[in-house]
Structure 1
Amino acid sequence: MSSIKAPFRTASRVEDVRYEIRGALARRARELEQQGHDILHLNIGNPGAFGLRTPETMRRAVVRNLKYSEAYGPQTGIFPAREAVAMQFQSRGLTETRYDQVMIGNGVSELVDLVLRSLLEPGEEVLIPAPDYPLWTAAVVLNGGRARHYPCPAENGFLPDIDRIRQLITPKTRALVVINPNNPTGAVYPESVLRELADLAAEHDLIIFSDEIYDSICYDEARFVPMAPLAEKTLCVSFGGLSKVYRACGWRVGWAVFTGALDRADDYRLAVEKLAALRLSANVPGQWAVQTALGGYQSIADLVAPGGRLHDSRQAVIEACRKSRFLDLVAPMGAMYAFPSVRPDVMPDFDDHRFAAELLEHKHILIVPGSSFNIPDRHHFRITLLPEAEDLAAAFGRIDELLEELAETPERLQTARSA
């Protein structure tokens, strides 16, 4: 009789979760690094990994308050942090915003899970943009819901198709997710589009989840418009944090702000707070930097202005795609990513996953296949704009080299397909 036991069973819902930003390709990149290869990581928006430091004033705020950080904090966050976020919303026109409408979490990621877990019954639906940031889809699935992806096509500048969203709404639809400025595409939504989204949500009594983590990262003429002032006829939950604008990813400090139809949201807000209490409190030391961050000098403006690090890196990508006979690009107007596509007329059999694997193995560049962001089109890929401009220009030179090689020897992609 065999003594071999079957592998431990994993939860079936995890099989439906995709997060390829840190998936198989990233694991292969670590293996190559252990073999001595230098890998350019263009897969993730991690400012500290590219030398973009958290402002000194924020670091000092944390150090000064370490002695007040050794006990658990309130499950909703410390008062100075919540009050600072409330004041930011007051400055955006929501003059009645109070600190108790703000919840601090371990990054936006944790708060996304909490608000969805408090909302969804099995099979209920959430409208999510496609391309999306895959955390949103994963969190819906893990909390028993169904993600319905609404198209934001490249030919429309990656802006939402309002009519298509309307067609997706069913009696089971509970919420509408908006990601602005957008990850992965870099689209920045104009006020007219945001108003249409707000009106559609109010018409169908949907909660709006507005992911605004890149709110101050806009380029050229693009301007960020917050959703909350436009969505006063329904409940709006807006998300922000220190990770991107303030280059403090590792501190894990995010916030959610509840605005709009608060008179109908008491039970829901208490449910979110109850779940927050189960993890006791968010990271306390980092919360002491929120007031300093929001009230101090906004150094991100220097990075996105002409001559700034992010602006110049973006320009390098735009120029590289313009010169390439293979690549198209809708210029990113916000966030810290670009979402190029390979021209179907030049490479009709292009496959984003196979290309990403070839690029990693032979050019030692790690990117994210575009279909990882829940779109059927397999001609896109995402890169971050965080490296220096010259490094990105060199990387796109290697990308074009590989595309030339694959155009001449398409059987390489066939080999990758069979592998």
Structure 2
Amino acid sequence: MSNEEAHANLVVPAFKTEKVAKTQTQNSQGTVWRFSGTDKAAKASTLTLRGVIYMLFDNCSRDVKKTVLPLGHGDPSVYPCFRTCIEAEDAVVNVLRSGKGNSYAPGAGILPARRAVAEYLNGDLPNKLTADDILLTAGCNQGVEIVFESLARPNANILLPRPVFPNYDARAAYSGLEVRKFDLLPEKEWEIDLQGIEAIADENTVAIVVINPNNPCGNVYSHHHLQKVAETARKLGIMVITDEVYNQTIFGDNPLVPMAKFASIVPVLTLGGISKGWVVPGWKIGWIALNDPEGVFASTNVAQSIRQNLEITPDPSTIIQAALPEILEKTDKSFFAKKNKILKHNVDLVCHWLKDIPCVTCPKKPESCTYLLTKLELSLLEDIKDDTDFCVKLAREENLVFLPGEALGLKNWMRITIGVDAHMLEDALERLKGFCIRHAKKTYIN
């Protein structure tokens, strides 16, 4: 099987030369075309991961005689060991055969699915959600898009963590929201720099984004820390947008504390979905949960704006919406335990290999998500300028693609995807070790 076939659903280089059409505005008969593409998305598109990944794949070569290992972006679903559970598959098949998912759905989503999400999220929340507090989206990314569009107004700014999943930067740029970055502190297990938040916020700040469990750092925040975040947001008069899409992908000792527990302190807008927990990103089903016992989202028209934006955007598949209650209610917890056990094994595998690769270190072993952040000790290497240069040369010499930290806002770091088969990870680490040995600085003893 070729590399392209083995990873048919992943972005991998095809090593083909494509013909590029000439750009013209006038044909041979002299017609002047009065249309052209807009550049509204030009800036936003450069902020996504895809541009970086494409660039790295362009540096891979058939001449290297090694299969391309795409560990720069994550989609565990393409690997058999991460296949979703039978309960989820049966739920979709049942709806498909019943014919109950063939119709249009309301903009906010069908009632049984919204009710099921509310029950799924409620747990031990002090302020319970109802179906009216849930809005369904075509995945968590569309949730980000809808929320940012709903908050965008002249001069508004939003606080994003550094490092961050770059889709947040892209959506903010497209919506016209100014981005202000606060740091996550590696020396404090990637906690949020609360003093930094207060330093960058002003009267035009509308929200702070908290990703928990954190992508890409892999940490899970404590109850005490999240309460401090809520109190800081209330002091500033801003909402908290919390991305909890990795809530079922935790393999460390720290349990998830939903940000919604602090909704009595500050209004909390929770983004989530089944893409990561159930390993089905292609199903495109997510949600926005309005945790707001004081009614702030209603009085400020945020809830209304979100619903209006949902009315003019594509709906998630009605089939998946109709299957969602059964997926959420019937999935056995052993499925998550098995998946997370594989991820923990892969984390341990990487950390074991890194002991013999001094120029690549992992200061904080992740306890969630499907990535591992490493710091590059470039002083130990020759002819490597920065993290992007490191990853470009790694792709060029080894057909191995890791993500440079600069793409996440963290210079001279690197992200390794762990949501792959273990044997693939071992191959990648062996290539990484060989690359670092070749580029290590030579020491001479007189």
Using the size of structure 2 for normalisation, the TM-score is 0.84
- Distance across 1 between alignment mates of 2:24 and 2:285: 45
Verify the 8 A CA contact 1:74 1:280 in the aligned structure 2.
no
Of 208, 214, 222, the residue aligned with 1:176 is: 208
Verify the 8 A CA contact 2:160 2:208 in the aligned structure 1.
yes
2:355 is paired with a residue whose SS is: helix
| Residues 247-293 of structure 1, C-alpha deviations (whole Å, 9 max, x = no match) | 11100011110012551212211211111111252221122332223
- From the superposition, tell whether residues 189 and 175 of structure 1 become closer, same or farther in structure 2 (CA, over 3 Å): same
- Distance across 1 between alignment mates of 2:129 and 2:435: 52
1:417 corresponds in structure 2 to none
2:420 corresponds in structure 1 to 387
Q: Does 1:300 align with 2:328?
A: no
- Distance across 1 between alignment mates of 2:146 and 2:182: 23
Of 92, 103, 121, the residue aligned with 1:62 is: 92
Larger Rg: 2
| Residues 119-178 of structure 1, C-alpha deviations (whole Å, 9 max, x = no match) | 121321111100001111111111111111100132222221111111111111100000
2:380 is paired with a residue whose SS is: coil
C-alpha displacement of 1:184: 1.0
Alignment coverage as a number of residue pairs: 402
1:15 corresponds in structure 2 to 43
Identity of aligned residues (%): 23
1:75 is paired with a residue whose SS is: coil
1:374 corresponds in structure 2 to 409
- Distance across 1 between alignment mates of 2:162 and 2:53: 22
- From the superposition, tell whether residues 131 and 28 of structure 1 become closer, same or farther in structure 2 (CA, over 3 Å): closer
- Distance across 2 between alignment mates of 1:325 and 1:122: 48
2:406 is paired with a residue whose SS is: helix
Pick which of 163-172 and 230-239 moved more: 230-239
| Residues 314-364 of structure 1, C-alpha deviations (whole Å, 9 max, x = no match) | 111111223321111021111111011112442485411111111112211
- Distance across 1 between alignment mates of 2:74 and 2:217: 13
Verify the 8 A CA contact 2:248 2:276 in the aligned structure 1.
no
Verify the 8 A CA contact 1:47 1:249 in the aligned structure 2.
no
- Distance across 2 between alignment mates of 1:222 and 1:10: 46
- Distance across 2 between alignment mates of 1:81 and 1:34: 47
- From the superposition, tell whether residues 253 and 128 of structure 1 become closer, same or farther in structure 2 (CA, over 3 Å): same
| Residues 287-320 of structure 1, C-alpha deviations (whole Å, 9 max, x = no match) | 233222322212112222xxx2111111111112
1:265 is paired with a residue whose SS is: helix
Q: Does 1:216 align with 2:216?
A: no
- Distance across 1 between alignment mates of 2:204 and 2:322: 40
| Residues 38-89 of structure 1, C-alpha deviations (whole Å, 9 max, x = no match) | 2111122212122221211111111211211221111111122211111122
Pick which of 54-63 and 28-37 moved more: 28-37
C-alpha displacement of 1:16: 5.0
- The 5 Å alignment of 1:332-347 reads 332-347=366-381
- Distance across 1 between alignment mates of 2:261 and 2:224: 13
C-alpha displacement of 1:187: 1.5
Q: Which runs of 5+ in 2 are unaligned?
A: 1-22, 27-34
C-alpha displacement of 1:388: 2.4
Verify the 8 A CA contact 1:242 1:249 in the aligned structure 2.
yes
Of 118, 121, 130, the residue aligned with 1:86 is: 118
Name the aligned partner's letter for residue 139 of structure 1.
R
- From the superposition, tell whether residues 372 and 72 of structure 1 become closer, same or farther in structure 2 (CA, over 3 Å): same
Of 108, 121, 125, the residue aligned with 2:140 is: 108
Q: Which runs of 4+ in 1 moved over 6 A?
A: 33-36
Q: Does 1:42 align with 2:75?
A: no
Pick which of 96-105 and 400-409 moved more: 400-409
- The 5 Å alignment of 1:267-286 reads 267-279=301-313, 281-286=315-320
Name the aligned partner's letter for residue 404 of structure 2.
P
Name the aligned partner's letter for residue 338 of structure 2.
D
- Distance across 2 between alignment mates of 1:154 and 1:272: 34
2:31 corresponds in structure 1 to none
- The 5 Å alignment of 1:155-170 reads 155-170=187-202
1:57 is paired with a residue whose SS is: helix
- From the superposition, tell whether residues 179 and 24 of structure 1 become closer, same or farther in structure 2 (CA, over 3 Å): closer
C-alpha displacement of 1:17: 4.6
Verify the 8 A CA contact 2:391 2:402 in the aligned structure 1.
yes
Q: Does 1:325 align with 2:358?
A: yes
2:224 is paired with a residue whose SS is: helix
- Distance across 2 between alignment mates of 1:89 and 1:12: 36
What is the root-mean-square deviation in Å for CA atoms of aligned residues?
Answer: 2.4
Pick which of 347-356 and 115-124 moved more: 347-356
Q: Does 1:310 align with 2:343?
A: yes
1:403 corresponds in structure 2 to 436
Name the aligned partner's letter for residue 47 of structure 1.
P
2:180 is paired with a residue whose SS is: strand
1:415 corresponds in structure 2 to none
